[in-house]
C-alpha cells in the first residue's frame, strides 16, 4: 500500500477530518490543501496555480495517488487539465464537475468555469490520466450523477460508480472500502 497521498477535501473540510481521518487511520501520510481561510480567499486561478505547483514538485510520478472530494475534486481537475496527462492514480469522491441543480431542495451549484471540464472531455482535449476512478451518490445534489457519467464516458481509462441511495456525503463504511481498494494498488 502506498503510504502518502495528495488530498483536496471539500470546501470547509480539513485534511484531518472525515476522509482525511480515515486515511490517517490507515497509516497514510496526507498532504494537500484545505479550502479554508487564506487559500479559500484566493481567486480561482491562484488556487489552481498553487495546486499545480504542489503536484509538479512532489506528486508527479507513477506511484502518486491523488484524492479529491467535492469541490476539492473540482479544483484538482482544473489544475490537472492545465498539465500533461497525470502518470499516477486519481480518486474522485462526490466530485463537483460543473453546474448542478437540485430543484427539490432548491439548491444550485455553479462553480467558476463550470462548463470547462465537460467541454474539454467532449473535444477530446482532456489530458487522459493513467487511472481515474469516480464515486458519487445517485442522489448527490452537488455532483450531478448524469454529468459525472457523461464526463467519465468521454475520458478513456476512467471508471465511474454511482452509489444508489447515497447523496453528496457517501457512507463512511463505503468510503473506507473504496480508499482501501484504491490505495492497495
Q: Which domain holds residue 122?
A: 4-183
pLDDT confidence band for 175 (50 / 70 / 90): very high
Q: What's the angle, vertex CA 95, arms to CA 125 and CA 86, rounded to 5?
A: 45
* pLDDT tens profile 114-136: 788 989 999 999 999 999 999 99
141 to 2, 5, 47, 96, 109: CA distances (angstroms): 32, 27, 24, 10, 8
Total Cβ atoms within 10 A of residue 39: 14
pLDDT at 2 over 90: no
What would the grid cell of residue 146 be?
448524469
Q: What is the pLDDT of residues 27-82, one digit of tens each?
A: 999 999 999 989 999 999 999 999 999 999 999 999 999 999 999 999 999 999 99
Looking only at the bridges linking them, the beta strands covering 100-102 and 107-109 are antiparallel
User: Between residues 125 and 100, which one has the greater pLDDT?
Assistant: 125
Looking at residue 47, what is its pLDDT?
97
C-alpha cell belonging to residue 165: 441511495
If one counts the domains in the chain, the total is 1
What's the predicted TM-score (pTM) here? 0.93
CATH code for the domain of 69: 3.40.50.1820
Report whether pLDDT(106) > 70. no
Q: Give the tens place of pLDDT for each residue, 138-154.
A: 988 777 898 899 999 99
Query: In which residue are the cell numbers 505547483 written?
Result: 53
Question: Residue 104: its pLDDT value, please?
Answer: 67
142 grid coordinates: 452537488
Write down the pLDDT at residue 107: 56
Residues 61, 55: Cα–Cα separation, whole Å:
9
pLDDT-derived band of residue 4, with 50, 70 and 90 as boundaries?
very high
Of the pLDDT bands very low, low, confident and very high (cuts 50, 70, 90), residue 164 is very high
**Three-state DSSP state, 136:** strand
Amino acid at each position: 500500500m502506498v503510504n502518502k497521498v495528495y488530498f483536496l477535501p471539500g470546501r470547509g473540510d480539513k485534511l484531518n477530518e472525515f476522509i482525511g481521518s480515515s486515511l490517517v487511520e490507515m497509516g497514510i501520510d496526507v498532504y494537500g490543501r484545505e479550502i479554508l481561510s487564506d487559500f479559500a480567499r484566493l481567486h480561482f486561478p491562484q488556487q489552481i496555480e498553487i495546486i499545480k505547483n504542489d503536484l509538479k514538485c512532489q506528486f508527479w510520478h507513477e506511484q502518486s495517488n491523488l484524492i479529491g472530494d467535492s469541490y476539492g475534486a473540482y479544483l484538482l481537475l482544473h489544475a490537472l487539465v492545465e498539465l500533461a496527462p497525470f502518470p499516477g492514480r486519481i480518486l474522485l469522491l462526490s466530485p463537483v464537475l460543473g453546474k448542478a441543480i437540485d430543484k427539490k431542495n432548491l439548491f444550485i451549484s455553479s462553480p467558476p468555469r463550470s462548463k470547462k471540464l465537460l467541454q474539454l472531455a467532449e473535444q477530446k482535449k482532456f489530458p487522459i490520466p493513467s487511472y481515474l476512478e469516480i464515486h458519487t451518490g445517485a442522489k448527490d445534489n452537488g455532483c450531478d450523477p448524469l454529468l459525472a457519467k457523461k464526463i467519465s464516458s468521454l475520458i478513456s481509462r476512467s471508471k465511474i460508480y454511482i452509489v444508489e441511495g447515497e447523496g453528496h456525503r457517501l457512507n463512511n463504511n463505503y468510503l473506507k472500502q473504496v480508499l482501501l481498494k484504491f490505495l492497495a494498488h
